[in-house]
Amino acid sequence: MTTTLGARPTRPRKPQLNLTVRSRELLSPSMVRVVLGIDEPERYADIVPPEKYVKLVFLRPGTEHSAADPGRAPDYWQLKEDLPGDRQPVTRHLTIRRYVPERHELWMDFVLHGDDGFAGPWAARAEPGDRIIALGPGGKWTPAPDAAWTLIAADDAAVPAALAVLEALPASARGEVLLEVDSPRDVQPVSAPTGMAVRWVFRSEIGGDEVPALVRAVRGAGWPAGPEGVQVFAHGEREVMKALREELFTRRRLERDQVSLSGYWARGRTEDVFQAEKKLPVGQVL
């Protein structure tokens, strides 16, 4: 085998999943659920929650279907090779909130954050029969079944992942679930093991320059005396996740392998900028 010095290793291409919208349901004023049918389910064996995500693909007008076969979804990887920079598809990460194998169905819950962007505005208007491409799935984290105490902390964008993780915990799990949303109107019903206390915290109750609501809630959680047996799943806005580092690693003396700490988005950045910044110090959560 020959290697070219300096050549970048090519990442394996994620499989493409062609999806059709089945329904849309408003879960709260700030979140909408889109239920999607998988067009060729036999091609997709690896959808095992929790914290599995896909990249949804948003195509530029005119690149949706091939002229030769208008019924067929285009091949994402072919489009990537063929299209010039300004017509390239745009991708957005979304959690698989639930996979229903007997109906070949995926549920995705989208934050309604306004008219900017692709994913949120698409979901707000999705109608049965609309088609979309996804790439994936990705995501490997699973909760340890024998953890003594589990903390799940998430903002709206990570609520779907947090609830998928919560549903994957054993019935004997003990710990806390802290979910940050804007106001009490954004609360959703949650079912949890009896030992997992669920608390919603509200940004609207915090002044603009104060400690973020989620950070304050994590500091005030009912932590056990020592770090042994603790596991943490904390996902959400990048700067809020950075603000949790001191609490988790310094004050609570947790090791890296006890913590899944992940930025899902960054305020004022599109996902493209957020992803590009991961290579820079500002983009690094861990």
Ligand X SMILES: Cc1cc2nc3c(=O)[nH]c(=O)nc-3n(C[C@H](O)[C@H](O)[C@H](O)COP(=O)(O)OP(=O)(O)OC[C@H]3O[C@@H](n4cnc5c(N)ncnc54)[C@H](O)[C@@H]3O)c2cc1C
Regarding 95 and contact with ligand X (CB under 6 A), the answer is yes
Q: How far is the CB of 241 from ligand X (least distance, A)?
A: 11
Q: How many CB atoms lie within 10 A of CB 174?
A: 17
Regarding 99 and contact with ligand X (CB under 6 A), the answer is no
In the chain, helix, strand, coil percent, each to 5?
25, 30, 40
Interior/surface letters 15-46, b for 16+ CB within 10 angstroms, e for the rest: ebbbbebbebeebbebbbbbbbbbeeeeebee
Q: How far is the CB of 4 from ligand X (least distance, A)?
A: 32
C-alpha to C-alpha distance for 17 and 41, rounded to whole angstroms: 9
Tokens of 97: 């909130």
Regarding 270 and contact with ligand X (CB under 6 A), the answer is yes
Regarding 271 and contact with ligand X (CB under 6 A), the answer is yes
> Per CB under 6 A, which of residues 143..172 are in contact with ligand X?
156-157, 160-161
Which region among 63-71, 104-112, 179-187, 225-233 touches ligand X (by CB under 6 A)?
104-112
Q: Which is nearer to ligand X, 93 or 98 (CB)?
A: 93
Q: How far is the CB of 111 from ligand X (least distance, A)?
A: 4
Tokens 């973020």, residue located = 212
Q: Which of 21, 27, 59, 109 binds ligand X (CB under 6 A)?
A: 109
Q: Which of 8, 125, 267, 279 binds ligand X (CB under 6 A)?
A: 267
Residue 77 makes CB contacts below 8 A (sequence gap 6+) with: 13, 16
Binding site for ligand X (CB under 6 A): 53, 92-95, 109-111, 113, 116-120, 156-157, 160-161, 264-265, 267-271
